[in-house]
Amino acid sequence: MEKRVALELRGRSPSQIKELNLDNCRSTNIVGLTDEYINLEVLSLNNAGLTTLKGFPTLPKLRKLELSDNRISNGLNFLNGCKKLTHLNLSGNKIKDLETLQPLEEFENLKNLDLFNNDVTNIEDYRSKVFALHPSLKYLDGFDKDDVEAEDSDVEEEDEMNGNNDSEEEGSDVDEEDDDLSLSAVYNANLEEESSASSVYEGSDVEEEEDDYDDEADEDGENDADKEPNSKAQGGDENEHGIPEESTRGKKRKHEDEDEN
Q: Which CATH class is domain 2-150?
A: alpha beta
pLDDT band at 206 (very low <50, low <70, confident <90, very high): very low
Task: Parse the chain into domains and list their residue ranges.
Answer: 2-150, 166-252
pLDDT tens-digit profile of 215-242? 554 455 444 444 444 444 444 454 454 5
What's the chain's average pLDDT? 75
- pLDDT tens-place string over residues 6-59: 999 999 999 999 999 999 999 999 999 999 999 999 999 999 999 999 999 999
DSSP sequence for 114-145: E-TTSGGGGSTTHHHHHHHH-TT--EETTB-T
One-letter amino acid for residue 173 of the chain: D
pLDDT in tens, 107-166: 999 999 999 999 999 999 999 999 999 999 999 999 999 999 987 644 455 445 544 544
Asked whether 93 and 53 are in contact (CB, 8 A), the reply is no
Angle at 19 between CA 14 and CA 22, to 5 degrees: 90
- pLDDT score for 234: 44
